[in-house]
Amino acid sequence: MKNTLVTMMTGLALAATAQAGEDYSAKAPPVPVAEPCLWSWFAGGSGGYVDDIDNDMWTLHIGKEYKCPGSNCSHAIFLEVGWTSWDEGDSVYDYGDTSNPYPNYDLDYDFDVIPITLNYKYECQLTNNLNWYIGAGAGIAISEIDVSVSNGNGNFSDDDSETNFYGHIFAGLVYNFTESFEMFGGVRYLYMDGTDDLLGVDVPGVLDDDFFYELGARWNF
């Protein structure tokens, strides 16, 4: 009987020791949840040089960027407003009217142009801080036009406000100084419809078939 009791006590002790060695706190590792793609706001502006009209152009924009965690590329949609001006003089000789004693005309154009566009931009990473981008946009250009014609017979002038189709394509590089601030530089090809005739003079689009070289900055929110 004594041996039986000792044997039972030994068995209980071994069972308790085995149970104490098991770790019931161990659980299966949680499955990681993928971070969602996000839209974020940005705003910025640029300034630069339009080669054909030999003048400055300035822009301001605001939009949203769509990016997924782990991706090196992003998509953006933004609204932009620009401004430029152009003064041009020219001389015309009227070969058609031989009876006109003053066939030489001096023409003077004065334009203020405000392009307003909705744009798409695709951007990808080159290095840690350097990205490249391409994009396109379309909208309208509001033009304030003053045209004057003068010759030996007097001066004539007219002014008008026009709204024409405007579009551009663009490409360039972006340097990220911080997560919230970046600078960019690039080139745009510009297209603008011509305006209506003024005083019988065919006025071309001020920003038609031009290249705009720009440098700008952008803040990300």
Taking only the tens of pLDDT, the chain with its 221 residues reads 555 544 555 555 555 555 555 554 556 677 777 789 999 999 999 999 999 888 899 999 999 999 999 899 999 999 999 999 887 766 554 545 556 555 566 777 788 999 999 999 999 999 999 999 999 999 999 988 887 777 666 676 777 788 999 999 999 999 999 999 999 999 999 999 876 555 555 555 568 789 999 999 999 99
Fold of 35-82+117-142+167-220: Porin (2.40.160)
Q: How many CB atoms lie within 10 A of CB 113?
A: 24
33 class by beta-carbon count within 10 Å (0-12 exposed, 13-18 middle, 19+ buried):
exposed
Residues 6+ apart with CB under 8 A from 209: 52, 190, 191
Report the greatest alpha carbon distance in the chain.
148
**Nearest-angstrom CA–CA distance, 166 and 193:** 7
* Two tokens, residue 38: 């996000």
pTM above 0.85, yes or no: no
* DSSP tag of 206: T
Return the residue matching tokens 């700008």: 216
The residue extents of the domains of the chain are 35-82+117-142+167-220
